[in-house]
Structure 1
Amino acid sequence: MNLHIENMTCGGCARSVTAAIKDVDPAATVTVDLASKRVHIESAQPAERFTAALDDAGFPPRQDP
C-alpha cells in the first residue's frame, strides 16, 4: 500500500512514521520517500490498522494509488 503523509517533513518524522507502522506489524517492509512525502508498506495487515496508528501518532495519511 502507498500512503501520502503531508506533514512528514524531516528525518525525525520519517522515523516516527516508521515506528508507528512497525508497532502495527513488526515484520512490515517500510520504504519512506521523504522528498515526495510518501510511504510504501508491504504487510498482510489491513490498511485501516496503519492509517489509525499513523493518525494516533500525529501523521494523518491519505492513500495513494
Structure 2
Amino acid sequence: MNQIFTVEGMTCGHCEKAVTKALLALDVQAKVVIDRAQNTVQVESEETRAALSKTIADAGYRVVA
C-alpha cells in the first residue's frame, strides 16, 4: 500500500536518514521516498497508515497530513 504524508521539521539530509531508518525499522521491506522541498514522505509498505505516522512522529517529526 502506498501512503503519502506531509511532514514538518525535515530540514536536512540527516532528517531524511532518520525518518527513513525509523520506517525501515518498522518494515524492512518498505520503500521510502522523501521530498524535503515538498515536505512529503512517500512510503510503500503493508503497515497501516497509523503505524507509519506514529513511527515518523516517534522519530521526532510532525505529521500534518
Detail structure 1 runs of 4+ shifted over 4 Å in the superposition.
none
Identity across the alignment (%): 32
Superposition TM-score, scaled by structure 1 size: 0.88
TM-score between the two structures when normalised by the length of structure 2: 0.88
Give the structure with the higher percent strand: 2
Cα deviation per residue 1:16-45 (whole Å; 9 max; x = unaligned)?
010111111010011111111111100111
Distance in 2 (CA, whole Å) between partners of 1:23 and 1:62 is: 22
**Structure showing the higher helix proportion among its residues:** 2
Which residue does the alignment assign to 2:57?
Answer: 55
Aligned-residue CA RMSD (Å): 0.9
Deviation at 1:6, TM superposition (A): 1.1
Give the equivalent residue in structure 2 for 1:20. Answer: 22
Of 5, 8, 18 in structure 2, the residue corresponding to residue 6 of structure 1 is 8
Structure 2 unaligned segments of length 5 or more: list them: none
Partner of 2:33: 31
The number of residue pairs the alignment matches comes to 63
User: Aligned with 2:8: secondary structure?
Assistant: coil
